[in-house]
Structure 1
Amino acid sequence: MKFSQASVLALLLPAASARFVEESESDRVILFPEGMPVVAKDMTKYHIELAPGEQRWVTEDQKWELRRAGKRFFDITDNADLGTLRARSATKAVFPKKPTQQKELNPLLGNLSKSEMESHLTTFTSFHTRYYKSDYGRQSSEWLLAQVRDTIKAAGADKHVSAAHFKHPWGQNSIIATIPGKTNATVVIGAHQDSINLWLPSILAAPGADDDGSGTVTILEAFRVILQSPEIVKGEHPNTLEFHWYSAEEGGLLGSQAIFSSYEKVGRNIKAMLQQDMTGHVARTLEAGKVESVGVIVDYVDPSLTEFIKKIIVEYCDIPFVETKCGYACSDHASASKAGYPSAFVIESAFEYSDNHIHSTEDLIKYLSFDHMLQHARMTLAFGYELAFTDFEALEKKGRVEMGDL
């Protein structure tokens, strides 16, 4: 006889606990008066895309089975048209040939703090889970927004810089912090705030220290320090900066799809997007006898932006990079790419040496290196600052001249 996960758990849990199996679970537990759990199968279907042109309808339980098997996908149930509006209008991305902001950046880099990241991550992982359909997920998002707003206020930037929820119907909202520049040309830095335990997500603990608590606090620290620049706070940089903390990445890039779909529909001018997902685990790299490095993703990304990020790492980080691949729809940068915006992704290591504790109760701070996270913070800060002051219009005009279009 084959038992579902929820029915097995219900037999193991006391009746008083069984009611905490939420209706959003693929198997719904119903308590009858005598306290005997009965499992009702939720057969709601979701439309997913596992590769370009490879789509299927699956139940939520099948989504988690695919995730446990290492398969990544877009859940396109509500975003099937993402990318269709910009399919013909997207232009070739052009980025600086080399970094140029060393004089301004080097003092800022010294202000990045491991203790700030550790403090934030300690609280962030104290939520039982950050599963996007759970109330814990809602609470953790509210807490995170408060930290972002406190960071803005502490910098004295609250008259110019803002942060707000981007609302979703599932409970946990995404967060967008905006540092306006002189133009609406925008550079986005992102991480995802949700966590998941792939065995009964609404019940089991998912501290999500590395996936993606590490990325969340890494970009929060870069955000804190970039606001120490008077030029940035005053809006003297040409390009607007946005920091995104996405909801529901684990459910199929749902939060980032919703955001970039909205940007595509209103014609937002997004010049670049960098994703930071898992920035803290280096132990498996060292155990394999490899040199500590950051992993630059080279599949399903913008090649020109990726080359620029390599130059940022060489210039501003103390460790090298390795090229690596993560597959289709492997993190939120994929939503930006699908919408026609240049995107890139840098992870903690070569993909094969990334953290193997994720999606479980064991994704804990003790397996992370804050020294390594500091390198990601250096790269993130430098990326944002350099591109905030980039004259994209001049670069693009020069590129068109060189191609003979003018």
Structure 2
Amino acid sequence: MKTSTILSLCAATLATAVAHPKDPQIVIQDPLAPTIVEVDDYIIELEHGVVKHVTEDEKWELRRKGINFFDITHNPEVGILNREVKKVTFPSKPAYNETVFPLIKQLDKSNMRKHLETFTSFHTRYYKSTYGAESSAWLLSQVNNTLHEAGALEHGASVKPFKHPWGQSSIIATLPGKSEKTVVIGAHQDSINLFFPAFLAAPGADDDGSGTVTILEALRVLLQSDDIIKGKGENTVEFHWYSAEEGGLLGSQAIFQSYQKEGRDVKAMLQQDMTGYVQKTLDAGEPESVGVITDFVDPGLTEFIKEVITEYCEIPYILTKCGYACSDHASASKAGYPSAFVIESDFKYSDNKIHTTEDKIEYLSFDHMLQHARLTLGLAYELAFAKFQ
């Protein structure tokens, strides 16, 4: 049955849960969330070279079964020019701890909570909804405020929306360095309720509100470095907040396809997707840790990230896997750029409340998110000053 038919039948009987802006975890009633209509025919890539035509309902059914994919409907050319990931030599060890540790002390989990409370107050951040567009506009304003308050805009830093045909824009913040060699830190801003994406509430606190505010706080503190603000780093650093990850990595594919066509020299990309849930790990009697993804990632970058975690985080890492096209780092890899992915835990202990109305702040640990912020800040600074060939 078509999504539109289901909605018309259920609009009179289904209640939607939405977080009220004054108390993001209070449930109130809301009628139908308006969406941007698209043709109901999509092309997805389930693994390298395995392509299938599906309807939108079939896309969500696959996601409900835990099957990830690239939706290549809008971006069929990603990876065609160069499927091989470029070889990059990364530092063997962190080299700037005397500068990074004083910065780490300035990370503030209350900032992450404040931003996440507002971010989860949108009924949903579904990429084809008006709420998704509004939440993106709000996030853009927060990133701009962060750059403005640090005085970075006066030294050439910038933030801009990267527009897409489905309505919700991705966001790119750029901190210029001495060269156009670029380091990318990413998270996705959209959320989804996989039962009725266009209808039900999706607070998306962990997926990926947590990653969104984690890298925003890392950006704020990175800008406390005069050397970063004044462009003295060897490389340019970008922070990305991708639209439509839940729809098949749509926003990140569009960005990295454009970078590939422009010949952009991206040396590294780190994705932070879900950084706040630890309860299943603790319930299993396991120590709190950072999950380092080992499949479909760049081995050299991943090795350096392990070193950064050991140096700058207060908890260890654990090696884990997430499968094909499991988050936006896969778009960077597909375009030929070295990428890596970290998550809140061993993948088997990650948050099972995602994609529902129960993905709420109350289940998250901001202390754990702070560890991911330490990693993000440390990696961004280290690679900003790395001397790549």
- Whether 1:64 aligns to 2:60 is yes
What CA distance in whole angstroms lies between the structure 1 residues aligned with 2:292 and 2:353?
A: 21
> How far, CA to CA, are the matches of 2:88 and 2:233 in structure 1?
20
For residues 112-133 of structure 1, what are the alpha-carbon distances to aligned partners after superposition, in whole Å with 9 as ceiling and x for unaligned?
Answer: 0000000000000000000000
Q: 1:154 aligns with which of 149, 169, 181?
A: 149
Question: Where does the alignment leave 5 or more consecutive residues of structure 1 unmatched?
Answer: 26-41, 394-406
Is the contact between residue 7 and residue 199 of structure 2 (CA under 8 Å) also seen in structure 1? no
1:12 alignment counterpart: 13
Please show how residues 163-242 of structure 1 align to structure 2 within 5 Å. 163-242=159-238
Q: What residue number does 2:362 align with? A: 366
Q: Which moved more, 1:55-64 or 1:76-85?
A: 76-85
Residue 94 in structure 1 maps to residue 89 in structure 2? yes
Shift of 1:87: 3.1
Q: Secondary structure at the match of 1:392?
A: coil
Q: Which amino acid aligns with 2:332?
A: A
- The answer to whether 1:122 aligns with 2:117 is yes
Identity of aligned residues (%): 65
Structure 2 contact 188–241 (Cα < 8 Å) conserved: yes
Superposition TM-score, scaled by structure 2 size: 0.93
C-alpha RMSD of matched pairs (Å) = 2.0
| Alpha-carbon distance, 1:55 to partner | 1.3
Deviates more, 1:341-350 or 1:199-208: 199-208
Q: Which has the higher contact order (CA 8 A, sep 6+)?
A: 2
CA distance in 2, matches of 1:23, 1:213: 21
List per-residue Cα deviations over 1:100-149 (Å, max 9, x = no partner).
00111010000000000000000000000000000000000000000001
For residue 46 of structure 1, the aligned residue among 32, 42, 46 is 42
Distance, in Å, in 2 between the alignment partners of 1:318 and 1:21 is: 42
Q: Which residue does 2:316 correspond to in 1?
A: 320
Distance 1:13 1:184 in 2: 51
- Gap regions ≥5 residues in structure 2: 16-28
Q: What is the deviation of 1:6?
A: 2.9
Alpha-carbon distance in structure 2 between the residues aligned to 1:293 and 1:65? 31
Q: Equivalent residue of 1:221, what SS?
A: helix
Contact 1:44 1:60 in 2 (8 A): yes
Q: Distance in 2 between the 1:9 and 1:374 partners?
A: 41
State the alpha-carbon separation in 2 of the partners of residues 296 and 197 from structure 1: 26
Q: Counterparts of 1:262 and 1:2 in 2: how far apart (Å)?
A: 33
CA distance in 2, matches of 1:213, 1:312: 23
Q: Distance in 2 between matches of 1:374 and 1:334?
A: 25
Query: Match for 2:306 among 306, 310, 314?
Result: 310
C-alpha distance in 2, partners of 1:251/1:171?
13
- Of 264, 271, 274, which aligns to 1:275? 271
Is the radius of gyration larger for structure 1 or structure 2? 1
Q: 1:10, 1:18 within 8 Å by CA — same for their partners in 2? A: no
Q: What residue number does 1:354 align with? A: 350
TM (norm. structure 1) is 0.89
